[in-house]
Amino acid sequence: MLALVVLLALTLLAIPPSRLLMEQWANADVLSRSRLIFGSVQGPVRRALADGDDERLASILAGVAEDDRVLAVGLCDAGGTMRGATSMMPPDFSCDSAARSEAESFSHIVQDGRHVFVATFPVSTPAGNAYLAVLNDLSYIAERTWQIQIYVVATLLGFGLVIGGAGAVLIFYLLKRWAESLRQAVENARRGKRLPAGRDMSGIERQIALLFKEIEATRGRSETAEVKWSPQSLHDLLATTLPDAEIIIVSNREPYIHNRRNGAIELQTPASGLVSALEPVMRACGGTWIAHGSGSADRDMVDAQDRLAVPPSDPAYRLRRVWVSEEEQNGYYYGLANEGLWPLCHIAFVRPAFREEDWRFYRTINQRFADAVAAEATTPDPIVLVQDYHFALAPRMIRKLLPEATIITFWHIPWPNAETFGICPWKEEILDGLLGSSIIGFHTQFHCNNFFDTVDRFIESRIDRETAAVTLAGHETLIRPYPISIEWPPAALKGQLPVEACRRAVRERFGLAPSACIAVGIERFDYTKGILDRMHSIDVLLTLHPEWRGRFTFIQVAAPTRSKLASYSRLQDEALALADEINARHGQDGHQPIRLVVRHHEPPEVFELFRAADLCIVSSLHDGMNLVAKEFVAARDDEQGVLILSTFAGASRELTEALIVNPYDARSMAEALNAALLMPADEQQERMHLMRQQVREQNVYRWAGRMLLDAARIRQRRRVLALAGSAL
Ligand code: F6P
């Protein structure tokens, strides 16, 4: 269509010059013809004049006028009288109107609406100059010009149509060939066919073959329900679906902390679900982990680029430490992250606090980590795994620095409903920051739904719940549930004594009788964990079932955390007081029903406690997932022990064979404790068997693998689109 319009425009443009050309040519033609006439008749005319033979003169001139294009001819004698004028001589054309000079002269006149070209030639006679006037009818020129214009237009149009048609046929043919070769390349790639000897793959064939290899690998992984997720399968997945992909993790908490104690440097692994989930993944994948260097000896252990290879005993990846001053830490970590976002996202009825200066530090530190990502990246499109609520702004910042990066942000804590999130003064900035990600992951579908509702309420964007995606300013972010888990088998299980030996060791350490029933609770000393609530339920248990007094001990291991914050120090004080109160109420013969141990425990100690326990209590008031529950299950290779699990922890959606409790209801939790203490060994075994199967299959390698598979799909889709773009 466009080509036709262009052709028409060109044709119209060609009309005025062709008309001018035609007119010039016609004038020249008439002129030369008039001269020719004059040349041929001037002799006879002169003789007829000399003889005074008007009849002969008239006959000569009549012969000239026989030519169609000559309108009339006449002779003006030396006296100015018209003689021998032919029949068509216009009556009002007189010798006065003919130019008379010593040389030939030409003029245009309009006679009865028609254009006439008058050529006047001097003829010398003894009586002076006579003039031969030849009047040419120019109307045929207009006719010819019109005809020629039609020819020009028709020719140009015809020419254009022929060329255009030929071009269209050629393009169609080339496209058909291209489509056929593309189909062939896809077919070859699909069947893994080799090219004939001597023929190399073209660039596009090579890319298609590569893409197919990756897609096949991706599909193979995702469709194989029985994939056994392990460090090796995760490693293989990376090699096949994301070859050459660079992995960078960003988290606040570092996986290895170096602390100085009594003049020596000690290595500590923090009490962090995030770290226990991601560390095995990094050991399997390699890459760079960027985290806050929070240990007192951290600076002593890094190189000039603030890096060190970890795990220190068997390096598998790189830790890049980022430094944060105390003032910054107070604003970004204690302030905005833990006094603002933490209570905002957990329904534990602790009021969130939002302070402007905390927000400033939060932005500064997010930018510092984003800059560190850009500095560490050695490729333009790394896979960046941003962890948790400490870095809600970092995804957008990283996207600005590395537009090609695949950014997967995982939110380890719950996402509240839109109404609750609306409390946050910087809700739009936080949502915008997160939507710089390629994928945002939550533990449960419920949290994904809350996130969609929040975006819907506060940000102008396109939400597609069918594909689970949010598009903001042309950038699409997928929102997906990825329930986090632990490594299987857990490293901390290695070197553990048999369960019986653990039971003995722990009972001896706490001075308990060999037959004593033990419940354990192990976590950070955090108000979301429901530590006070479980103590209340033990109080109720011992009140309602006094037969357990002296026979039942609850060991609560609580790692001090965020103690600078009033809400946390208050909790510690309250827990100590409550333990004393309950011990005073139900203790007997030196036996204390509650043993509160406030210190950090390394994973092997934690696992020993799990293996020694009859039951484990996880009574979170609100928890994204809770990995303690899964670790307890993983520790029990004897398939014994009962898990009491809060319905408000994400883990309760997976570990359905636990005794699910409402931690706000002390009475029913006490009954669950009683039921657990009385549960027969075979029922314990049945429940534990199913839960172990769940954690074994849905382990942390699967968690990471599913995210990486989705990242691979995003990258493949981008490459297919780029390929289609470059091929057309
Ligand atoms: O639950 C959220 C979380 O970031 C976990 O991922 C981690 O286990 C815990 O908080 C650690 O908190 P912190 O790093 O503040 O000690």
Q: Give yes or no: residues 516 and 611 share one domain.
A: yes
For the chain, give the percent of residues with pLDDT over 70. 94
Residue 623 domain-assigned? yes
pLDDT(544) > 70: yes
CA 603 – CA 29 distance, rounded (Å): 110
Buried b (16+ CB within 10 A) or exposed e, 529-553: bbbbbbbbbbbbbbeebeebbbebb
In a domain, 378, yes or no: yes
392 plus 451 within the same structural domain: yes
Q: Which residue has the higher pLDDT, 142 or 713?
A: 713
Q: List the residue whose alpha carbon is closest to atom 12 of ligand 1.
A: 272
Residue 96: the pLDDT is 80
- Answer yes or no: do 409 and 558 share one domain: no
Of 115, 143, 171, the domain-final residue: 143
Q: Look up residue 497 and give its DSSP letter.
A: P
674 found inside a domain:
yes
- For residue 551, give every residue at least 6 positions away whose Cβ sits within 8 Å of its Cβ, in sequence order, or none: 515, 516, 517
Give the CA distances from residue 214 to residues 207, 404, 605, in Å, rounded to whole numbers and listed in that order.
11, 19, 43
Tally of structural domains, the chain: 3
Residue 667 has pLDDT above 90, yes or no: yes
Cα–Cα distance, 65 to 133 (Å, whole number): 11
Report the separation in Å between the CA atom of 342 and the middle of ligand 1, taken as the mean of its atom positions: 10
At 461, is the pLDDT very low, low, confident or very high (cuts 50, 70, 90)? very high
What is the distance in angstroms between the CA of the first residue and the CA of the last residue of the chain?
A: 20
359 CB contacts (<8 Å, ≥6 apart)? Answer: 336, 425, 426
* Domain final residue, candidates 143, 158, 190: 143
Q: How far is the CA of 437 from the centre of ligand 1 (A)?
A: 21
683 alpha carbon – ligand 1 mean position (Å): 34
User: Is the per-residue pLDDT at 170 higher than 70?
Assistant: yes
Q: What atom of ligand 1 comes closest to residue 342's alpha carbon?
A: 2
Indicate whether residue 273 lines ligand 1 (CB < 6 A): yes
The verdict on the CB of residue 292 being under 6 Å from ligand 1 is no
253 lines ligand 1 (CB under 6 A): yes
Q: How far is the CA of 607 from the centre of ligand 1 (A)?
A: 19
Angle at 394 between CA 393 and CA 395, to 5 degrees: 100
Name the residue type at position 8: L
Query: Which of 197-211, 271-285, 499-513 is predicted most confidently?
Result: 499-513
In a domain, 17, yes or no: no
Strands 383-387 and 406-410: parallel
Alpha-carbon distance 343 to 336, whole Å? 10
- Last residue of a domain, which of 481, 512, 534? 481
Residue 282 and residue 431 share a domain: yes
pLDDT at 725: 67
* CATH code at position 126: 3.30.450.20
* pLDDT for 196 beyond 70: no
pTM score of the predicted model: 0.72
For residue 462, being part of any structural domain is answered with yes
- Is residue 470 domain-shared with residue 504, that is, in the same domain? no
Predicted local confidence at residue 216, as pLDDT: 57
Domain of 91?
31-143
Residue 223 confidence (pLDDT) = 44
**pLDDT at residue 212, as a whole number:** 64
Q: Which atom of ligand 1 is nearest to the CA of 333?
A: 15
Q: Which two tokens stand for residue 505?
A: 């060791």
Nearest 5 degrees, angle CA 663-CA 668-CA 670? Answer: 85
Q: Which of 102, 192, 93, 190 is nearest to 134 (CA)?
A: 93
Ligand 1 atom at minimum distance from 337 CA: 15
Residues 628 and 517 in one domain: yes
Residue 718 clears pLDDT 70, i.e. is over it = yes
Task: Kindly state whether residues 471 and 509 are assigned to the same domain.
Answer: no
Asked, for residue 156, whether it belongs to a domain, the answer is no
Span of 25-34, 633-642, 717-726 with lowest mean pLDDT = 717-726
Residues 6+ apart with CB under 8 A from 324: 292, 294, 332, 333, 365, 368
Q: What is the DSSP letter of 709?
A: H
Whether residue 698 has pLDDT greater than 70: yes
Task: Give domain status of residue 13, yes or no.
Answer: no
In a domain, 2, yes or no: no
- What mean pLDDT is reported for the chain? 91
Which atom in ligand 1 lies closest to the alpha carbon of residue 273?
Answer: 8
CA atoms within 13 A on the CB side of 537: 26
The pLDDT assigned to 610 comes to: 98
What band does 24 get if pLDDT is binned at 50, 70 and 90?
confident
If you average pLDDT over residues 255-271, what whole number do you get? 94
What are 217-235's pLDDT values in tens digits? 555 555 444 578 998 999 8
Nearest to 254 by CA among 304, 305, 308: 308
Q: Kindly state whether residues 367 and 398 are assigned to the same domain.
A: yes
- Cα 560 to ligand 1 centre (Å): 12
Ligand 1, atom 10: closest residue by C-alpha: 272
Whether 197 shows a pLDDT value over 70: the answer reads: no
Residue from 342, 390, 412 to probe ligand 1 pocket by mutation (most atoms less than 8 Å from CB): 412
In this prediction, residue 550 has a pLDDT band, given cuts at 50, 70 and 90, of very high
Same domain (yes/no): 455, 561: no
Which domain CATH number covers 379?
A: 3.40.50.2000
Using pLDDT thresholds of 50, 70 and 90, give the confidence band for residue 182: confident
Token pair 């050459």 is found at 244
- Say whether both 327 and 417 belong to one domain: yes
Cis peptide before 489 (omega within 30 of 0): yes
Let me know whether 511 and 466 are in one domain.
no
Query: Does one domain contain both 618 and 512?
Result: yes
